[in-house]
Chains A and B, each alone.
Chain A
Amino acid sequence: MTEPHMALSVLTKLNSLSGGLFLLTAFGIIAMRQVLASLNLFVFQSILLAASACLLGFQHGSIHLFAVAGITLMTKSILIPFLLRRTLNQEVYARREISQVLNIPTSLLIAVALTIFAYFLSSPLLSGVVEPSVKFNLPIGMAGLLLGAYVVMVRREAVPQVIGILSMENGAFFASVSIAPDLPLIAELAAAFDVLIIAVVMGLLTRRIHERVGTTDVGRMTSLKEE
């Protein structure tokens, strides 16, 4: 085996490893009982996304992917957690247990089923693809998307739902960095700021809800009536 080929295979393996851990953090966000723990897992997930973008950027020689990695690190692993902690201080720290619709083992089994579904969903798309990174990143990204959506459905409270939406976005990016290595930077920037603004707006909205109602348990809000 020649030297560059060897290095390439190590890169591919490392990319797959970040993919595997990405999937694991997506499961973890579902399984965690505490708001702070799921927020930390989200940060870790974003770091893994950035790592995958860096590795793919190195592989393709594409400067755009490094920019993607940089923006991801800045917004998702530093700014958004900072903002969420800042605006929703006691929601993040004081809540010990998130109330959810289903219990955690059931959620985990559904998550496994969703992942297998994502695998079958993406397999016809991948039938002609030979590049290993695409074959790996697309199903994992799709699984991340579905699992994030599941978090939004199953959690009854606002902050974990925001984390679910953000991790959905992570999943979409995880797939897109492999499919489109030369994604225009402007699109990436726009998306990143979009996410940031979503986080800020949701954070402020949640804070308002908390001030008015005294809880962010949005699952119970259907019982409120208009005056």
Chain B
Amino acid sequence: MTNRIVFNVIQVLVVMTFAPLIKGVLNRLKENIQSKRGPSIFQPYRDIWKLFHKDEVISEQSSWIFRFTPYVVFVTPIFVALLIPVLTGYPLFFAFMGDMLGGGFILALGGFFATLAAVDTANPYGPMGASRTRMVGFLAEPVFMIVFFTVSFVAGSTIPYIVHKHWVTPLANFFEPSHVLLMLAFLMLIIAEGGRIPVDNPSGHFELAMIDESKGLEYSGRGAALMKWGGSMKFFVLLCIFLNVLVAPWGLAQGEALAEVLLAVPLVLLKIFLFVLLLVVIESSFAKLRLFRITEFLGAAFVTSVAAMITRLLEI
């Protein structure tokens, strides 16, 4: 029992430590592919460190929501990291607090508070970004629903630890059309939710074109650091859900030994790195969509997830 609590804490620490690294690697590779040198992969750590040592400025007009939000944004991915398989293939101590839907709700709570805080200060760009994020969010919602519905339909459960075993026992299940289509739909969701390029440009500096970034414009100092760190943790957690639950449980620790769990850290990071390579290729080969074309992008994701469900119906 103590083992499992310790592992759970290790899991959270891994998410906290390596989340900025993934962002750094992603940024570096994106610049490399454009034949530039790019920032160091440790740049996000330096940014967060620098921001923690700066003064914080808070508008007099803002309410408690504005001050409270960075903590919510920072804490929600940590809660989700307790629930999902990051390192181990078997459930840990807190894993039964919630299933995948629960994890989705907790992540949505962070997004909800970030939106409220963006509206709170009445900075003109904040509410604009917030309303756009909501637009992407409510278009992504039905896709999430169908994906989770199909997953529970196929695997007979919404507990991630049961789901991810199903895809590889037997290995033929990996090639199930519903599985492949689900992966595709969820990939599109990650792009939309993570604010990656066909939907949103994460490195853009033009406020009028921003979707996700403009929500955090008003934060400075510690608040900005927590928002940044929380954002990268949310991305990391989404990648973990995608790679460890929906793709396959390869590379996760199966035994209860500490060495095995620690060995899973580089393996999982390798898996994420491979996925980041794919993401970099996607981001470099597409242009950002116009705002009202996002409907089509997420409509395509919706159709893909429905196709996954229909093919599942045909197989029974």
Contacting residues, chain B, for A115 (C-beta < 8 A): 306-307, 310
Return the CB mask of A1-32 against B: 1 if under 8 Å, else 0: 10000100110111011011101100110010
List the one stretch of A82-90, A133-141, A214-222 in contact with chain B.
A133-141
**A10, A20, A28, A136: most-surrounded residue (chain B CB, <10 A):** A20
A136 touches B172 (CB 8 A): no
Known pairs A27-B303, A111-B303; A21 contacts B180 (CB<8 A): yes
Which of B176, B181, B302, B313 sits near A24, CB closer than 8 Å? B181
A122 to chain B, nearest CB (A): 9
CA of A82 to CA of B277 in the docked complex: distance in angstroms? 34
B180 touches A105 (CB 8 A): no
Known pairs A17-B176, A19-B177, A20-B181; A139 contacts B314 (CB<8 A): yes
CA of A9 to CA of B178 in the docked complex: distance in angstroms? 15
Known pairs A9-B172, A31-B296; A19 contacts B311 (CB<8 A): yes
**In the complex, B299 has a CB within 8 A of chain A:** yes
B310 touches A119 (CB 8 A): yes
B180 touches A31 (CB 8 A): no
**B180, B299, B315: most-surrounded residue (chain A CB, <10 A):** B299
**In the complex, A112 has a CB within 8 A of chain B:** yes
Known pairs A20-B307, A135-B314, A136-B314; A108 contacts B300 (CB<8 A): yes
Closest to A107 in B: B299
Known contacts A10-B171, A16-B175, A105-B296; can you find 15 more A-B pairs with CB under 8 A? A1-B170, A9-B170, A13-B173, A16-B311, A19-B177, A20-B180, A27-B304, A27-B307, A28-B300, A105-B299, A112-B303, A119-B310, A119-B314, A136-B314, A136-B315
| 25 A-B pairs (CB sep. < 8 Å) | A6-B170, A10-B171, A10-B172, A10-B175, A13-B177, A16-B175, A16-B176, A16-B314, A17-B175, A17-B180, A19-B314, A20-B177, A21-B180, A23-B307, A23-B311, A24-B181, A27-B307, A28-B300, A31-B296, A108-B300, A112-B303, A112-B306, A115-B306, A119-B310, A135-B315
B→A interface (CB under 8 Å) = 170-173, 175-178, 180-181, 184, 295-296, 299-300, 302-304, 306-308, 310-311, 313-315
